[in-house]
A and B are shown apart, each in its own frame.
Chain A
């Protein structure tokens, strides 16, 4: 298990901070890559924030109404493995099947 801290990115050129409008995830919740984490309000627009990682939301660093500066922590994730630079770590578990086999069908 590794930790990954998602910091408020510069959502528009020269942006300094953003206000948390709402969270769509809770601490302790598992999220997928690109799942909607919540919305933030910048001086220019309301922006939806997709999750940069797949993992467990360990901590939300700000509450709705809070002002977060660019570069400050937004979400701390617990992530399963470091996949390296590219891609994701695949699941080891057996994938689902629907097709059932029949012997001696004739």
Chain B
């Protein structure tokens, strides 16, 4: 398959899923006639008709509630919440019903629902358009949480999410939407991290757009003779602790990077898992480089909020200096 942007790869994944599974449905705000505000659903309504690709009212709770009902009736809904900051009105349906349905029915009713959410910052969006909601979902048992960093994983993991019998929260890094990558076009596997760069001195751990920023930081570090390994989690739930642990066993040092605020961010979970599994191999305390504990800032200052190379490299120096 060709080199595609993340937007094109996601579009291809939706198209292929709709073609191969007649029970797959795509719906959300502006996904039909407009083709999505980022063009991810471009041309789908034209090809599959208004019965399978349709616009919804501006009511996120209703979108997810509809998905739950359709899933109960045997459909495979893929719904879009237009932006991260608008996913919160749907949290009630997600937490109260979607995540609990399989357990509530003793396994009789699964929820093969995928909720796509353009997420994270870095595009200079206004308020409600740059949030990192992964921890809310990761903390809700019964959901899977996926966040690819580029087009190849975007295709493979969206296909896997749609095929999965359980609800998947699929967080698309907006700031990576226009990045290009060779896309193989096969379905991936949820719950597998990827070592995206080999290194020996320390491990950088991230997901979404920060996984790409960590690659840039590793490039910069290499200019100073420091070889950083980068692990792209890809999936937060399930979390591939084995791959993370194997890398940190090798390097002895780890820095977790995320856009979300520090306090109770998913970096805390990863730090704890590493402490529990590779404590004896750690040569330095695990460091976290994150957004600040403030509401997501206006576009004019978001570059100061998002972890940049200097903040990542400063944390790397700290783990290198320890012990």
Contact = CB atoms under 8 A, between A and B. Distances in A.
B310 A97 contact: yes
B146 to A, nearest CB: 21
Given A87-B299, A97-B220, A98-B310, A105 B83 contact: no
Given A95-B216, A102-B317, A87 B310 contact: no
B219 A94 contact: yes
A84 B41 CA distance: 12
B123 A86 contact: yes
Contact of B224 (A33, A95, A102): A102
A84 B221 contact: no
B186 interface: no
B216 A94 contact: yes
B216 A101 contact: no
Contacts of B220: 94, 97
B313 interface: yes
B175 A90 contact: yes
For the complex, would chain B's binding face be called helix, strand, loop or mixed by DSSP majority?
loop
B253 to A, nearest CB: 12
Contacts of B320: 101-103, 105
B308 interface: yes
A88 B225 CA distance: 34
For the complex, would chain A's binding face be called helix, strand, loop or mixed by DSSP majority?
loop
Contacts of B175: 90
A99 B320 CA distance: 14
Contacts of B177: 84
A96 B36 CA distance: 33
Given A95-B309, A99-B310, A81 B299 contact: no
Contacts of B38: 84-85
A12 interface: no
Interface residues of A, number: 24
A99 B221 CA distance: 9
Interface string A67-84: 000000000000001111
Contacts of A94: 216, 219-220, 309
Interface of B: 36-39, 83, 122-126, 129, 174-175, 177-179, 201, 216-217, 219-221, 224-226, 299, 308-310, 313-314, 316-317, 320-321
Contacts of A102: 224, 317, 320
Contacts of B217: 97
Contacts of B216: 94-95
Closest A-B pairs by Cβ, 4 of them: A87-B123, A97-B309, A101-B224, A87-B125
Interface string A29-71: 0000100000000000000000000000000000000000000
Contacts of A13: none
Given A87-B124, A88-B123, A90-B175, A97 B313 contact: yes
B309 A86 contact: no
Given A95-B216, A101-B316, A85 B37 contact: yes
A33 B317 CA distance: 36
A106 B321 contact: yes
Looking at A87, A98, A103, which has the most chain B CB atoms within 10 Å of its CB? A87
Given A87-B174, A90-B122, 4 more contacts: A33-B124, A89-B123, A90-B178, A97-B217
